[in-house]
Structure 1
Amino acid sequence: MTFADTASKSRTIHILAISGSLRQVSSNTALLQAAIVLLPEGVEMKLYSGLGDLPHFNPDLEPTEPPSVTELRSLVKWADGLVISSPEYAHGIPGVLKNALDWLVSGEEFVGKPVALFNASPRAIHAQSSLTEIVTTMAGHIVPEASVTVSLLGKNLDAAGIMADPEISGELKSAMILFANAIEQFS
């Protein structure tokens, strides 16, 4: 039996979506926005919007944790799983995304969480590899069957355009159902 079969009987699954891009018009953010609309019943997903508000990671600040860090930790604690969508900059993940993950290293909020990795460019293999290493080191459980790489490069699609594309929207919808199933199994 799968999540899709039992959604009406199950508790609500909470997912936190994090885009590694600060760009106003980001393919990775659009991918997450489309995924939110395509969620199966019984799943709620919030798109984290505070990435640019986090101070540079400094362990000396942890005793008097900045409010933006407290918000991030609270959202990760609330979530049953995370979807991270990241562009690739200079063969790695953007510094702002690494900074956010660094703030989570010393806490327990992230440990053991199922994580799906999204990417809007098929050429971003270095970022995906780097993100896989970081998430695994932080004791997150990557769900490969729910992780997707979609070629949006040069298509200039926003969330509505992604949802209107049957191939991309079908892949996203399937990924979210698979991710919900994986979260149920981890619970």
Structure 2
Amino acid sequence: MRILGISGSLRRGSHNRRLLRAASTLLPPGVELVEWDNLAGLPAFDEDLEATPPESVLEFFAAIEEADGILIATPEYNASLPGALKNALDWASRPFPENVLRDKPAAVVGASTGLFGAVWAQAEVRKALKASGAHPIESELPVGLADYAFAEDGTLNDPELTERFKDLLADLVREVTAPVEAA
């Protein structure tokens, strides 16, 4: 099983990239996390380009199609999700309703340097995914005070948070393996 990991942060040393890497160590056996790392390479969504998307957009679509599920780790900028991540979700939501996100299981987590762990951004990402036809699980994982949340080896310092992360990832895997209900 393949889970596509997408960080909403463009920064190389971002806490949300670290969160994706921590996820890769917590996934059940037989589940692989593949990071997609070209958020900055997507042009601004332009409906005029929808019929013939640029190559970077086609590569993004292919990464989503090849994945069984999606894990998005988002920071919170100005009480919402980052613009580059919203742009990527806008591209992936088209053409509606038959887009690459349609019926795709997804989970959203987030890390921020503040106390609340990007909970508003996570809610916004789940809302955008749901509106696009994806199946985001309702569980969230806010990682607050992210400057102190990770150990040297990249794992989470807090054992309780680690267990919650494992549970969320198990929920995502269950969603991937659940039979699809007829519409």
Q: Same fold (TM over 0.5)?
A: yes
Task: Classify 1:87/1:163 alpha carbon distance in 2 versus 1 (closer, same or farther; 3 Å).
Answer: closer
Aligned mates of 1:136, 1:128 — CA distance in 2: 12
- Whichever residue aligns with residue 132 of structure 1, its letter is R
Classify 1:186/1:97 alpha carbon distance in 2 versus 1 (closer, same or farther; 3 Å): farther
Residue 19 of structure 1, CA deviation: 0.6
Q: Deviations over 1:67-93 (max 9, x none)?
A: 110110001111111111111111111
Give matches, 1:7-22, under 5 Å.
Answer: 13-22=1-10
Does the residue aligned with 1:64 lie in a helix, a strand or coil?
A: coil
2-structure distance, mates of 1:69, 1:48: 12
Q: Is the 8 A contact 2:5 2:72 kept in 1?
A: yes
Separation of aligned partners in 1, 2:26 and 2:149: 20
Deviations 1:167-187 (A, max 9, x none): 333332222222111211145
Compute the TM-score of the two structures, normalised by the length of structure 1.
Answer: 0.84
**In the TM superposition, what whole-angstrom CA distance separates every residue of 1:41-79 from its partner, at most 9, and x where no partner exists?**
121111110101111111212233211101100011111
Write 1 or 2 for the structure with the bigger share of helix. 1
2:2 matched to 1:45? no
Q: Which runs of 5+ in 2 are unaligned?
A: none
Matched, 1:124 2:115: no
Shift of 1:159: 7.5
Kept in 1: contact 2:108–2:141 (CA 8 A): yes
| % identical aligned pairs | 37
Q: Bigger relative contact order, structure 1 or 2, given CA contacts below 8 A and separation 6+?
A: 1
Residue matched to 2:171? 178
- Write the distance in 1 (CA, Å) between the matches of 2:36 and 2:101: 15
Tell me which moved more, 90-99 or 164-173.
164-173
Change (3 A) 1:159 1:48: farther
Q: Does structure 1 residue 76 correspond to structure 2 residue 64?
A: yes
Relative to the length of structure 2, the TM-score reads: 0.85
SS in 1 for 2:51: helix
Give the secondary-structure state (helix, strand or coil) at the position aligned to 2:109. strand
Structure 1 residues 142 and 41, CA gap change in structure 2 (3 angstroms): same
Please report the RMSD computed on the Cα atoms of aligned residues, expressed in angstroms.
Answer: 2.0
Partner AA of 2:109 in structure 1 = F
Letter in 1 for 2:54: P
Give the SS at the match of 1:47: strand
Separation in 2, partners of 1:95, 1:120:
16
Counterpart Cα distance in 2 of 1:66 and 1:72: 10
Regions of 4+ moved over 4 Å: none
Give the partner amino acid of 1:74: A
Structure 1 gap ranges (5+): 1-12
Matching of residue 168 in structure 1 with residue 161 in structure 2: yes
Match of 1:67 in 2: 55
